[in-house]
């Protein structure tokens, strides 16, 4: 069974198709891709498995064409218990096929919990960008919001400066307690 197809046109007019495939090679649910000529659907590169891990289920693939001509593929991986999920990614070179390492871009557990003292205001905390596995952390783009979707901008008791990656708390007694903050991180990879 093949589901969740996605297609992108490459720089040379060929197209790449990626999908979730169940038992295509007998090892469960995996991510497969192929490269086709746009006219006549002639295969330029036959079906190939994108993921290297076959334990659990690999599904929900997405692809983006990078300005380098390579393709970034990302997908969800669910462990064999069905309880833990991660996002994995790899680069596909449509011209020079070969092994490109699969990597896990980021997980939400990498940012440590922070505590602001109730008797001190304002207080600040800056995200350590070195925890992210990228060659140039200055290319990372950050956004932040409260769990309910409230943006951390002017007028809010907790502010986030995207340039300095710094949270500043100007809290009072009404904000005491535990608050969940969602930090979004993306890399400036030239995705089109």
pTM of the model: 0.54
The arithmetic mean of pLDDT across residues 91-104, rounded, is 66
When the pLDDT of each residue in the chain is averaged and rounded to a whole number, the result is 78
Rounded alpha-carbon distances, angstroms, from residue 151 to 43, 109, 112, 170: 47, 21, 20, 15
pLDDT band at 190 (very low <50, low <70, confident <90, very high): very low
Q: With beta carbons less than 8 A apart as the criterion, state whether 48 and 34 touch.
A: yes
78: region left, alpha or beta (phi > 0 left; psi from -120 to 50 alpha):
beta
Distances in whole angstroms, Cα of residue 141 to Cα of each of 55, 76, 128, 163, 178: 32, 22, 13, 9, 26
Query: 27-31, 66-70, 97-101: lowest mean pLDDT where?
Result: 97-101
Higher per-residue confidence, 21 vs 182:
21
Measured CA to CA, the distance from residue 172 to residue 136 in angstroms comes to 37
Q: Which of 135-139, 151-155, 159-163, 166-170 has the lowest mean pLDDT?
A: 135-139
Q: Where are the alpha helices (DSSP H) in the chain?
A: none
pLDDT value at 19 more than 80: yes
Residue 18 has pLDDT above 90, yes or no: yes
């Amino acid at each position: 069974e093949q589901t969740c197809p996605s297609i992108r046109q490459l720089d040379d007019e060929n197209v790449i198709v990626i999908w979730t495939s169940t038992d295509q090679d007998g090892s469960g649910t995996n991510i497969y891709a192929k490269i086709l000529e746009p006219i006549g659907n002639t295969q330029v590169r036959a079906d190939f498995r994108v993921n290297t891990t076959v334990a659990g289920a690999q599904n929900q693939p997405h692809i983006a064409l990078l300005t380098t001509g390579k393709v970034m593929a990302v997908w969800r991986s669910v462990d064999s218990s069905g309880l833990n999920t991660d996002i994995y990614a790899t680069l596909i070179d449509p011209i020079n096929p070969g092994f490109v390492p699969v990597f896990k871009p980021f997980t939400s557990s990498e940012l440590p919990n922070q505590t602001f003292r109730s008797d001190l205001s304002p207080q600040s905390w800056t995200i350590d960008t070195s925890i992210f596995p990228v060659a140039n952390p200055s290319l990372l783009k950050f956004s932040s919001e409260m769990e309910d979707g409230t943006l951390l901008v002017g007028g809010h008791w907790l502010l986030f400066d995207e340039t300095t990656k710094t949270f500043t708390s100007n809290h009072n007694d009404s904000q005491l307690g535990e608050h969940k903050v969602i930090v979004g991180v993306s890399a400036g990879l030239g995705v089109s």
